[in-house]
Structure 1
Amino acid sequence: MLFCAAAPVFAQTSAVPLPTKRDGAQQVAQVATAAPADAAQKIANHFSSVKTMTGEFMQFGPRGDQAGGKFYLERPGKLRFDYDAPSTLKVIADGRNVAVGNGELDTWDFYPLSRTPLSLLLADKIDLENRMVRDVRQQSGLTIIVLGDKSIFGDQVITLMFDSKTYELRQWTITDAQGKDTTVILSNVRTGVEFGRSVFRIPYDQIMASPSSSN
């Protein structure tokens, strides 16, 4: 198992299905057409050039759960999700690991970033010639890029959806090994921002000192 139930952003709980069940990668595929390679690569290149992002997110999970909050992203490898109340969850990726904090239970769990599909989202760049690219297609004004590596993530994939005109990342869906989707939709996004060092700092001392935390 990649992530425990306390880590909704990755595919297990407290997230958000799209307007209908399994909207993410599968339903889009039914009506999508192949994206021109040059246009898709331009979008991938634009996304790779964006080194920092911040904004708001809404998350939909496979059980209909919904959560929102603020996110912070810095390429390569860094990401933070602060969930709005009543959730007490916090997710931090510092370039090496991903830590999931549960304020209510006072626990932390952490995992190697390289073993999660989020590492593909946070990579330096997206090369459409890379073997990790599973599919590229267009549908309803979106360019969809599906990434995965069976040797690392098994059947898990991450589906990135970009606005075909503005090249902006609109949302992503992580599909787990059981075929369940967790979708994150972005809004009010700002790019080119600067973050303090503490934003992506994982409290390793606190994690290691807590008897209820795991890795």
Structure 2
Amino acid sequence: MRGALALLLAASMTCGAATPSQAQTVPIPKPAPKGRDMQISASEPQRTPMTTGATQTVPPNPVIPDPRRNLPANIFATFDATQKAQAAKVSSYLSSLQTLVGNFVQVGPDGSKTKGDFYIQKPGKVRFEYDAPSPIAIIADGSSLAVRDTKLATQDIYPLSQTPLRFLLSDRIDLLKDTNVVSVTADDVFISVTIEEKQALIGTSRLMLMIGARDGQLKQWTVTDPQGYDTTVAVYNLDSSRKVDPGLFKIDFTNYSVPPG
């Protein structure tokens, strides 16, 4: 696994040389297993739900994209009326959210699975807490994002503007106007929108958002880093009415060292 959710939130920055603490916090992923199932089964027992006022469910099975899939460089000009309407539906849903609390299941590039809780307060604030024994926490305060390792008492800081999940944290967004959408697809289960980002010195990364076709709720996302590795996060037990403690999004620069450079 590529260093927990650090890959998701800083995928566009992981191709450079890592500092010693980064090497521990964001390890290089193992090659994706050949012929692995396209869907990971959830064999763990149901965890105690974190949220209140939400429908409680067992952890979902993240739908793993086919690693052999190919996307065109840009098909914006070919989007038909139905695709534009689907993208507008996703944009409207994302823009309607102000807070969101829930649980997540993450599947790394090597098929490893981890769980945890997440908190979102828009614009720009998010916190991901991983279940033990993982020491990782991800915190964004609106301008910066910290990848914290409580065991090593270190954290890596990134500009929030350079992380692919900033689209989820935008107060208002029109995906077709504000991002480089390269794919819009839909079936009976999901509406999927894929956003592509190209950076000259780093490479191309992608973010695929998947919304429930029936209930219009966020189901999962997949980040493909510039090396072609996928990390998928499925979310559940969602609660958009719960008030979130603002202190959850405070980055502690006192008790955690910041690696040089």
Please, what TM-score do these two structures have when normalized by structure 2? Answer: 0.69
Partner SS, residue 192 of structure 1: coil
* Distance in 1 of aligned mates of 2:189 and 2:69: 12
* Distance in 2 of aligned mates of 1:109 and 1:149: 22
Instruction: Name the CA shift for 1:27/1:126 in 2 (closer, same or farther; >3 Å).
Output: farther
Larger radius of gyration: 2
Are 2:109 and 2:231, in contact at CA under 8 Å, matched by a contact in 1?
A: yes
Are 1:172 and 1:183, in contact at CA under 8 Å, matched by a contact in 2?
A: yes
Deviation for aligned residue 1:49: 0.5
* Distance in 2 of aligned mates of 1:121 and 1:157: 14
* Distance in 2 of aligned mates of 1:74 and 1:205: 23
Unaligned runs of 5+ in 2: 12-25, 41-62, 72-78
2:196 to 148, 169, 176: 148
* Distance in 2 of aligned mates of 1:168 and 1:25: 23
Percent identity among equivalent residues?
A: 35
Q: Could you report, residue by residue, the CA deviation over 1:16-39 in whole angstroms, capped at 9, with x for unpaired residues? A: 99626x933756779xx9853223
Deviation for aligned residue 1:137: 1.1
Are 2:188 and 2:214, in contact at CA under 8 Å, matched by a contact in 1?
A: no
Deviation for aligned residue 1:122: 1.4
Give yes or no for the alignment of 1:184 onto 2:233.
Answer: yes
Instruction: Name the CA shift for 1:85/1:99 in 2 (closer, same or farther; >3 Å).
Output: same
2:39 to 10, 14, 19: 19
Aligned residue in 1 for 2:213: 164
* Distance in 2 of aligned mates of 1:124 and 1:165: 24
Instruction: Name the CA shift for 1:95/1:24 in 2 (closer, same or farther; >3 Å).
Output: farther
Q: Which AA in structure 1 matches 2:195?
A: L
Give yes or no for the alignment of 1:48 onto 2:89.
Answer: no
Aligned residue in 2 for 1:85: 132
Are 1:25 and 1:159, in contact at CA under 8 Å, matched by a contact in 2?
A: no
Instruction: Name the CA shift for 1:26/1:137 in 2 (closer, same or farther; >3 Å).
Output: farther
Instruction: Name the CA shift for 1:39/1:156 in 2 (closer, same or farther; >3 Å).
Output: closer
Aligned residue in 2 for 1:197: 246
Flag as ranges the 4+ runs of structure 1 deviating above 4 A: 11-14, 25-30
Aligned residue in 1 for 2:54: none
Deviation for aligned residue 1:205: 2.8
Are 2:118 and 2:129, in contact at CA under 8 Å, matched by a contact in 1?
A: yes
* Distance in 2 of aligned mates of 1:25 and 1:205: 43
**Bigger shift: residues 146-155 or 52-61:** 146-155
Q: Which AA in structure 2 matches 1:82?
A: E
What is the root-mean-square deviation in Å for CA atoms of aligned residues? 3.0
Are 2:105 and 2:113, in contact at CA under 8 Å, matched by a contact in 1?
A: yes
Are 1:110 and 1:214, in contact at CA under 8 Å, matched by a contact in 2?
A: no
Unaligned runs of 5+ in 1: none
Are 1:40 and 1:136, in contact at CA under 8 Å, matched by a contact in 2?
A: yes
**Bigger shift: residues 146-155 or 189-198:** 146-155
Give yes or no for the alignment of 1:213 onto 2:213.
Answer: no
Partner SS, residue 167 of structure 1: coil
1:173 to 222, 229, 236: 222
